[in-house]
């Protein structure tokens, strides 16, 4: 055990308690969101609630007494902090410490309550405020006795006991008297009572809240709190610019506009938008400060602007109609000049460490190896990993990280560079644990969603997708993509991150094994084939022709299993490939490495992915879906190629 920590423990004697605390609710509070403002505010509020409940331990005993999460010497709340923590408390301080934790937590929510209430325009209506915020959150805790000797010699067994007790505690929920009524429920969460109509009308009458709260968007107090709080109301939110999902999907196009800011069409567009914003009562902006909505044609719809800003039929509205039409015409010229349009899709990414509970409890380690120092080191790695991944998303990925706790992630990424960034996130996570006795793996849920689709649906599917990634494969370590096309089609594809047992015959006739990165070595290069220069690219018709012939390569076996004609598939694959590339294009003849051409590699790896007999890493109940899974892979590559090849006449 750390020498300095040992000395601090000795100041409190030989008897202690292991204290484990959980703050909730978590998932329902986060996914109850219509805007990214709701989402990020909800995540930050939960982090701050947990941090405030930990402060009595931090202030009284110091950060070393908090085993998980790792806080270092920080005196401010990290950007992302899990809702579960564990600490060591002196035996004679347990009761007073728990009381302080509960008081600190209630005090935090009371402060949040006050921050919201002072925003109301008419204090007379505060009598309708029922205190749902305080009633919505809870704290579960358990504690077990532990001696200094047990901390040194039997920490693992004590840890297992306290985890079991907390799981049992969570099964016994605290229930108070119901304070609700039979009034209409909140349109966002659907289970708490909405605020009274009088209060809603007063809020809508305030100019700055009109665009935050739509007409008839009656919210409860909890959902309303996430909508009304500003970045300066909450510690740590001043570093985050609230964005819509349109900001994420349009980011690459917006960067293209900034890079070409000297063009006359772009200057005309900015002038027209600022003129339109003036009519709407908003301040003018520079290009880099325009929200993503302004780069889409549909935002200039007269009907859309009228409903969005709650305008009445008057002279101002007629002036708005004229200016919106002018702005739309100029935006069309910008599209034509740049030969591009903003992407209408973005990516929600959720990641979750595989079997992290077992890792943090040392299931696969001997008692002598799993010590309190080992777990503290794991906590530190998770904390540092979370920070590194957050920086990677916000900076290199040009995305928007909502939460990054090390083994748990929720983020938004522009579609164009999302898969590349996701692979880098996985590598960053693995690098952080390199050299440990046991190195964890990571599974991901990836949802590609239209920017007009409901955010809550995307968040729910992202969580379901990461669960599916863990279900489909033995030993997990996989990703699951859900593509929701705005027309209503849903396409899913799942894969391990790597193909570990891939073999191919090289030039000298020898068979060689390779480790294949599915995203970097297969998916992205194949999409590039279809987005290369027009005189070199692979025609998308290749995908359509290959899919039409796929049934001929399969036969039913017993118990609905498929057999696959590998040799025939590879021959037809190469024939179709050569048919759908321009003559003398050279596409596919480049080397994947010194011994294999790119075409040979792609042919072999596609045959591997299509063959049920090769996909033994799948769990038994999903093995009969290999054929459908491969078809969905082809459809997703086609979609990605189309979206990355947007032009002024292609959307």
Give me the torsion for CA of 394, 400, 406, 407, rounded to 10°: -140
Residues of the chain above pLDDT 90, percent = 44
Confirm if 378 and 394 have CB atoms less than 8 A apart: no
How would you classify the pairing of strands 478-484 and 442-450?
parallel
* Model confidence pLDDT, tens digit, residues 569-627: 999 999 999 999 988 788 878 887 777 888 999 999 999 999 988 888 888 777 788 99
Mean pLDDT across the chain: 86
**Residue 28 within a domain:** yes
Q: Is residue 246 part of a domain?
A: no
Task: Give residue 333's Cα distance to chain centre.
Answer: 35
- pLDDT at res. 616: 81
DSSP β-ladder status, 66-68 and 84-90: antiparallel
Position 241 in a domain: no
Q: Find where tokens 């027009």 sit.
A: 534
Q: Is residue 53 located within the same domain as residue 197?
A: yes
- Helix 36-61 to helix 94-117 angle (10° resolution) is 150
Beta strands in 337-436 (DSSP E): 345-353, 400-404, 408-414
- For residue 73, count CB atoms less than 10 angstroms from its CB and return exposed for 0-12, middle for 13-18, buried for 19 or more: exposed
- For residue range 116-129, list pLDDT tens digits in order: 777 776 554 555 56
CB proximity list for 200: less than 8 A, separation 6 or greater: 194, 213, 218
Of the candidates 547, 520, 564, which has an alpha carbon nearest to the alpha carbon of residue 634? 547
**DSSP labels for 413-435?**
EEGGGHHHHHHHHHHHHHHHTTT
* Structural domains in the chain (count): 4
Closest among 24, 76, 39, 34 to 55, alpha carbons compared = 76
Are both 72 and 212 inside the same structural domain?
yes
pLDDT at site 361: 85
pLDDT given at position 436: 78
Q: How far apart are CA 651 and CA 649, in angstroms?
A: 6
Assess if residue 432 is contained within a domain.
yes
**Residue 624: partners with Cβ closer than 8 Å, 6 or more residues away:** 559, 560, 561, 562, 612
**CA dist list (Å): 471 to 24, 40, 447, 460, 514:** 26, 29, 17, 17, 26
Q: Is the pLDDT of residue 323 over 50?
A: yes
Contact (CB, 8 A) for 539 and 580:
yes
- Residue 651's pLDDT is 42
Mean pLDDT lowest for which of 111-115, 332-336, 542-546, 635-639? 111-115
229-271 pLDDT tens trace: 876 676 555 455 556 899 999 999 999 999 999 999 999 999 9
- Domain co-membership, 299 together with 374: no
Tell whether the model's pLDDT for residue 354 goes beyond 80: yes
pLDDT of residue 405: 85
- Domain-embedded: residue 244: no
Higher-scoring residue by pLDDT: 352, 175 = 352
Q: Three-state DSSP class for 152? A: helix
Strand duo 345-353 + 408-414: pairing: antiparallel
In terms of pLDDT, which residue wins out, 492 or 614? 492
Instruction: State whether 475 and 515 are in the same domain.
Output: no
List the domain range (segments joined by +) for residue 416: 343-496
The domain boundary, picked from 179, 198, 233, lies at: 233
Listed residue (628, 629, 618) closest to 472, CA to CA: 618
Residue 635: what pLDDT? 97
119 or 61: which carries more pLDDT confidence?
A: 61
CA-based diameter of the chain, in Å? 86
What mean pLDDT do residues 23-45 have?
A: 85
User: Do 429 and 543 fall into the same domain?
Assistant: no
C-alpha torsion angle, residues 616, 619, 624, 630 (rounded to 10) = -70
Q: How many angstroms separate the Cα of 448 from the Cα of each of 340, 417, 462, 520, 543?
A: 20, 12, 9, 18, 20
pTM (2 d.p.): 0.91
Give the residue from 483, 458, 422 showing the smallest Cα distance to 633: 483
Q: What span, in angstroms and rounded, lies between the C-alpha atoms of 418 and 397?
A: 7
CA distance 572 to 630: 16
245, part of any domain: no
Chain centroid to CA 175: 32
Evaluate the omega torsion of the peptide bond into residue 69 and state whether it is cis, within 30 degrees of 0. yes
Assign 90 a pLDDT band (cuts: 50, 70, 90): very high
Residue range 271-302, pLDDT digits in tens: 999 988 887 778 888 888 888 989 999 888 87
Q: Of the candidates 233, 264, 289, which is a domain's last residue?
A: 233
Regarding whether 198 and 267 lie in a shared domain, the answer is no
Whether residues 326 and 371 fall in one domain: no
Q: What is the CATH number of the domain that holds 424?
A: 3.30.70.270
180 domain residue, yes or no: yes
Beta strands in 485-552 (DSSP E): 490-496, 498-505, 511-517
Q: Is residue 205, in this structure, part of any structural domain at all?
A: yes
Residues 595 and 629 placed together within one structural domain of the fold: yes
pLDDT at 650: 42
Claim to verify: residue 164 and residue 33 sit in the same structural domain: yes
Confidence of residue 210 (pLDDT cuts 50, 70, 90): confident
Residue partners of 381: CB distance under 8 A and separation at least 6 = 406, 432, 433, 436
Q: What is the pLDDT of residue 197?
A: 78
* Residues 354 and 457 placed together within one structural domain of the fold: yes
**CATH code for the domain in which residue 64 is found:** 3.30.70.2220
**C-alpha R_g of the chain:** 28
Residues 264 and 347 placed together within one structural domain of the fold = no
Give the end of a domain, one of 496, 524, 550: 496
Phi-psi region of 228 (alpha: psi -120 to 50; beta: other; left: phi over 0): alpha
Say which residue, 575 or 651, is predicted with more confidence. 575
420 and 305, same structural domain? no
Percent helix, strand and coil across the chain, each to the nearest 5: 55, 15, 30
CA distance 536 to 517: 25
Residue 308 predicted with pLDDT over 80: no
């Amino acid at each position: 055990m750390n020498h300095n920590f040992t000395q601090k423990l000795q100041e409190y004697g030989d008897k202690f308690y292991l204290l484990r605390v959980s703050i909730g609710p978590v998932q329902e509070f986060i996914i109850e969101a219509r805007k990214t403002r709701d989402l990020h505010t909800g995540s930050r509020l939960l982090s701050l609630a947990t941090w405030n409940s930990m402060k009595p331990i931090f202030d009284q005993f110091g950060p070393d007494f908090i085993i998980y999460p790792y806080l270092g010497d920080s005196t401010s709340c990290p950007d992302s902090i899990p809702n579960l923590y564990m600490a060591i408390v002196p035996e004679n301080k347990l009761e007073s410490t728990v009381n302080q934790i509960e008081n600190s937590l209630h005090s935090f929510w009371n402060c949040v309550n006050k921050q919201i209430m002072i925003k109301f325009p008419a204090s007379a209506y505060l009598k309708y405020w029922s205190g749902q915020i305080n009633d919505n959150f809870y704290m579960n805790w358990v504690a077990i006795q532990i001696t200094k000797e047990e901390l040194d010699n039997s920490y693992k067994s004590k840890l297992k006991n306290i985890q079991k007790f907390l799981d049992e505690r969570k099964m016994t929920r605290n229930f108070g008297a119901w304070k609700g009524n039979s009034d209409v429920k909140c349109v966002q969460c659907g289970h708490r009572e909405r605020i009274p109509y009088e209060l809603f009308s007063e809020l809508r009458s305030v100019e700055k809240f009109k665009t935050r709260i739509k007409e008839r968007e009656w919210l409860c107090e909890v959902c309303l709190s996430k909508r009304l709080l500003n970045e300066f109301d909450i510690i740590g939110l001043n570093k985050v610019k609230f964005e819509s999902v349109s900001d994420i999907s349009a980011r690459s196009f917006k960067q293209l506009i900034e890079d070409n800011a000297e063009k006359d069409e772009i200057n005309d567009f900015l002038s027209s938008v600022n003129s339109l914003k003036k009519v709407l009562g908003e301040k003018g902006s520079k290009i880099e400060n325009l929200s993503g909505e302004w780069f889409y044609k549909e935002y200039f719809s007269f009907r859309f602007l009228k409903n969005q800003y709650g305008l009445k039929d008057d002279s101002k509205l007629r002036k708005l109609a004229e200016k919106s039409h002018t702005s739309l015409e100029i935006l069309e010229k910008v599209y034509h000049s740049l030969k591009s349009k903003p992407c209408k899709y973005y990516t929600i990414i959720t990641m979750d460490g595989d079997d992290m509970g077992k890792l943090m409890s040392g299931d696969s380690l001997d008692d002598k190896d799993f010590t309190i120092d080992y777990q503290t080191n794991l906590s530190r790695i998770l904390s540092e990993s979370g920070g590194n991944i957050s920086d990677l998303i916000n900076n290199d990925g040009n995305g928007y990280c909502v939460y990054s706790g090390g083994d748990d992630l929720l983020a938004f990424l522009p579609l164009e560079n999302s898969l590349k960034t996701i692979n880098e996130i996985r590598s960053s996570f693995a690098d952080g644990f390199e050299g440990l006795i046991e190195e964890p793996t990571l599974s991901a849920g990836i949802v590609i969603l239209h920017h007009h689709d409901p955010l809550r649906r995307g968040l729910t599917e992202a969580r379901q997708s990461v669960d599916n990634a863990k279900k489909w494969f033995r030993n997990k370590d996989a990703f699951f993509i859900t593509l929701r096309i705005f027309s209503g089609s849903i396409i899913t594809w799942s894969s391990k991150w790597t193909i570990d047992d891939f073999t191919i015959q090289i030039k000298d006739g020898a068979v060689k094994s390779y480790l294949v990165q599915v995203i970097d070595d297969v998916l992205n290069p194949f999409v590039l084939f279809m987005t290369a220069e027009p005189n070199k690219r692979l025609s998308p018709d290749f995908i359509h022709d290959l899919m039409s012939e796929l049934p001929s390569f399969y036969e039913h076996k017993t118990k609905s299993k498929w057999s696959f004609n590998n040799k025939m598939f590879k021959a037809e694959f190469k024939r179709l490939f050569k048919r759908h590339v321009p003559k003398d294009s050279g596409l596919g003849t480049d080397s994947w490495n010194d011994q294999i051409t790119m075409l040979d590699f792609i042919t072999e790896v596609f045959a591997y992915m299509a063959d049920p007999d090769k996909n033994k890493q799948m769990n038994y109940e999903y093995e009969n879906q290999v054929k459908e899974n491969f078809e969905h892979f082809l459809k997703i590559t086609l979609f990605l190629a189309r979206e990355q090849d947007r032009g002024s006449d292609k959307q």
